[in-house]
Amino acid sequence: MLCEWEMTMFDWMGRLAGGVWHAAMTRSLPLAMAGSALGAAVLMAGSVTPPLPAQEVAVETVLYRDAFVWTGAGFEQRDFAVAGERFVDPARVRADRVVTLDGQYVLPPFGEGHTHKFETEWTVQRFSPEMLRQGVFYARNPGAYAPNIARIRPLLATRDTVDVSFSMGGLTAPHGHPEGAYIEVMTQFWYSGFTREDFVGEAFHPVETRDEVEAAIARVQAQGADFVKIFLQNSDTHAERARLLADPDYRNARDYPDFDSIVGLDPALAAPAVQIAHARGLSVGAHVSNAADFRVAVEAGVDMILHMPGASWEPGYGLPSEVPAADVLALAAQRGIPVVATAAVRLNPEHQDVMDEVHHTVLAALHEAGVPIRIGIDNFGLTTRDEIDYQRAVGILDDLALIQAWIATGREIFPERAIGAIEPGFEASFLVLDADPLTDFSTLDRIVVRVKEGQVLELED
């Protein structure tokens, strides 16, 4: 269970991400704890011999028989084989060991496309096992305090932790999002005593000119960023918001998080940021709030969009402002720009019917246009599985499409790696389920075994 301190922190983090705890979601959290001990026992029951010690696994060849294996569009009954850390052609190996899976279902692990849960040693220890239990092996952190990431990289470099991709700090306007979140909220937790100056250039990068964009991207690259994050927020009213925020009296008087006072990067700098990042070999992910931001991001040529427009709907903002126009949806689909929906980032029970309508309408528009929808939660108090459950309730993607999206999310986090398929040459990472998730989704609550790069993960309860 969560300790009181954690509860307090998660409540704040929820607000930071924008959110109010959703009671039903909160109650469902312990479901994620469905255990690995049970899973290991079930696999063992189907094994001819017990797993070998780790050092021998690296060289042995294992043939898995009698499994239903993920094809990308469903499951087919076939054998598969693992040699060391990779899948190999089962027809061309001499197996050291044979494992019979007794008709169980095998599929690639999942991805978490938008989380800030990896920022300190404590959060790695707290959240990595939780994600692995849900079958989430790959995560993207679009925004973090760079010096801390340097400290946790070695922890995350091991096979038995989640693999995480980082942007370090994101590019925004002076006093733009997420400055308020760091100063007003994060200083109450692990950044106690920090001032704005401690965060600038480390947790976020306030920029107003092309030269400053160039310098900020050079800096995050030097800090080890895997991609660049830009913040777009209410781009249609950027100028007036930026003018208000330039006034210290206005800033001091505002009640953070006050949606009306939040601002992002000058939209005119989005395209230059993408050009500069691409020239340095870095992809770009955009935070967006509404349809105007979505247009700026798509037209600028970003590689991924890290919220659906309207994810954090606020009272007073009408639905039409959240739905991208047909021409920009078509461009996003043509460019194949994935949108990490984070639909459950900020559930608000007081206005849940309105939020559900916004999410339903926007997700339907994205899906019908052929824009790839991806999975992420961006909330410390909720899990990736909570996002899946919320999207199932919204009902735009069916269970097959959700599982495809969940696997694709992981594959896109590490595009240079061969992950996301049970095919020769790919990393031998997979989940074993006791039923077909396309007909019994609850099988994902009780993952039988998790294998990462050829090795069974042993998770403590």
CB nearer to Zn ion: pick between 307 and 450: 307
Strand partners for 82: 62, 87
CB nearer to Zn ion: pick between 65 and 307: 307
CB of 348 to Zn ion, least distance (A): 17
Distances (CA, A) of 220 to 143, 208, 224, 306, 442: 11, 17, 6, 18, 41
Q: Which stretch binds Zn ion (CB under 5 A): 51-59, 126-134, 204-212, 378-386?
A: 378-386
CB of 170 to Zn ion, least distance (A): 9
| CA separation for the pair 420, 408 (Å, rounded) | 7
CB of 207 to Zn ion, least distance (A): 19
Which H or E run includes 166? strand 163-166
| Interaction between residue 453 and Zn ion (CB under 5 A) | no
User: Going edge to edge, which strands form the sheet with 430-433?
Assistant: 86-88, 75-83, 61-70, 97-107, 430-433, 449-452, 455-456
CB of 178 to Zn ion, least distance (A): 8
**Which alpha helices (DSSP H) does 95-194 contain, by range?**
121-133, 146-156, 179-180
CB nearer to Zn ion: pick between 378 and 387: 378
| Interaction between residue 293 and Zn ion (CB under 5 A) | no
CB nearer to Zn ion: pick between 293 and 378: 378
CB of 377 to Zn ion, least distance (A): 10
CB nearer to Zn ion: pick between 285 and 372: 285
CB nearer to Zn ion: pick between 141 and 223: 141
Q: Which stretch binds Zn ion (CB under 5 A): 257-265, 374-382, 423-431, 451-459?
A: 374-382
| 265: amino acid identity, one letter | L
**Residue 424, C-beta contacts closer than 8 angstroms, at least 6 positions apart:** 86, 87, 88, 89
CB of 143 to Zn ion, least distance (A): 6
| CA separation for the pair 1, 95 (Å, rounded) | 43
CB nearer to Zn ion: pick between 19 and 90: 19
**Residue 192, C-beta contacts closer than 8 angstroms, at least 6 positions apart:** none
CB of 71 to Zn ion, least distance (A): 33
For residue 8, give the nearest of 381, 384, 386, 382 by alpha carbon: 381
Give me 123's structure tokens.
């959060």
| CA separation for the pair 23, 87 (Å, rounded) | 42
Q: Are 414 and 163 in contact (CB under 8 A)?
A: yes
CB nearer to Zn ion: pick between 90 and 113: 113
CB of 138 to Zn ion, least distance (A): 17
| Interaction between residue 378 and Zn ion (CB under 5 A) | yes
Q: Which stretch binds Zn ion (CB under 5 A): 148-156, 319-327, 377-385, 415-423?
A: 377-385
CB nearer to Zn ion: pick between 116 and 385: 116
| CA separation for the pair 300, 411 (Å, rounded) | 23
Q: Which stretch binds Zn ion (CB under 5 A): 201-209, 346-354, 375-383, 402-410?
A: 375-383
| CA separation for the pair 357, 354 (Å, rounded) | 5
| CA separation for the pair 38, 295 (Å, rounded) | 48
Long-range contacts of 52-59 (CB under 8 A, 24+ apart): 52/97, 54/455, 57/84, 57/454, 57/455, 58/84, 58/85, 58/454, 59/84
CB of 257 to Zn ion, least distance (A): 13
CB nearer to Zn ion: pick between 287 and 359: 287
CB nearer to Zn ion: pick between 204 and 426: 204
CB of 18 to Zn ion, least distance (A): 9
CB of 166 to Zn ion, least distance (A): 12
Which residue's CB atom is positioned nearest to Zn ion?
A: 378
User: Going edge to edge, which strands form the sheet with 163-166?
Assistant: 110-112, 136-141, 163-166
CB of 313 to Zn ion, least distance (A): 16
Which H or E run includes 204? strand 204-206
- Strand pairing class (75-83; 339-340): unpaired
Number of residues that bind Zn ion (CB under 5 A): 1
CB nearer to Zn ion: pick between 378 and 427: 378
**Residue 361, C-beta contacts closer than 8 angstroms, at least 6 positions apart:** 319, 322, 323
Binding to Zn ion (CB under 5 A): which residues in 229-258? none
**Contacting positions for Zn ion (CB under 5 A):** 378
